Amino acid sequence: MASLKKALDKALAHYEKKEYADAERGADIMVEAFPDFAHGQFLKAVILEETGRAEQAQDYYNKAGKLSMMWMRLAMRLQDIDPARAIIYFEKARAQDSGNNHLVYSLGLAYEKAGRANEARKCFQSLNMQREVITRLLSPLGFLVIMIAGAIAMFKRHDFVLASLVTVSAVICLFWIKRDGGLVFNMMKRKAASQ
């Protein structure tokens, strides 16, 4: 499996530099050796499409699985290297998954970097903050409160080992909330500024 990851990374490195022939050779090796490896199928499809062979690309896209997530990952990989290509793949992903706030937010940031303020503003305005607040803040906070209450109850019963495990889990949950909360607040700031 490590060799497969190396092969994918090498092919992607060629792809990023638009060294399409080398990237395609790498993708072909992966597709031949591991026909069920979705990332190999996907990369082959992207290369075919970018080199004017869109009809051939469709067969590989069909074998690649959930395209919206793969396009989003590719766009995120390209956003600092090649913002124009990143926007293309963010847009493809959004066409299939327009309700994905993280995707739309990332697309807005890519438009912003490219100096396309109107498109960025539209992306930020379309963010559904209610869903983000519930899934990334309120739900984990509720879970954190339950864990803390459980840990306190266990400490009172002198069940120190289990209480310690729950406390450690609560601390991990707190870091998770901090990470996701930061994203939510950044989204809210961008949405408010775009109004």
Could you read off the pLDDT of 3-54 as tens digits, one per residue? 888 889 999 999 999 999 999 999 999 999 888 999 999 999 999 999 999 9
Is 40 in the same domain as 83? no
Half-sphere exposure of 159 (CA within 13 A, CB side): 11
Structure token pair of residue 51: 């080199």
The distance between the two most distant Cα atoms of the chain, rounded to a whole number of Å, is 69
Full-model pTM: 0.80
Contact, 109 vs 167, CB < 8 A? no
Instruction: Please name the residue that has the structure tokens 């074998």.
Output: 63
Could you read off the pLDDT of 107-132 as tens digits, one per residue? 999 999 999 999 999 999 999 989 88
Is 59 in the same domain as 80? no
Residue that finishes a domain, picked among 50, 65, 80: 65
Is 56 in the same domain as 18? yes
Is 1 in the same domain as 61? yes
Residue that finishes a domain, picked among 75, 103, 127: 127
Q: How far apart are CA 147 and CA 130, in angstroms?
A: 24
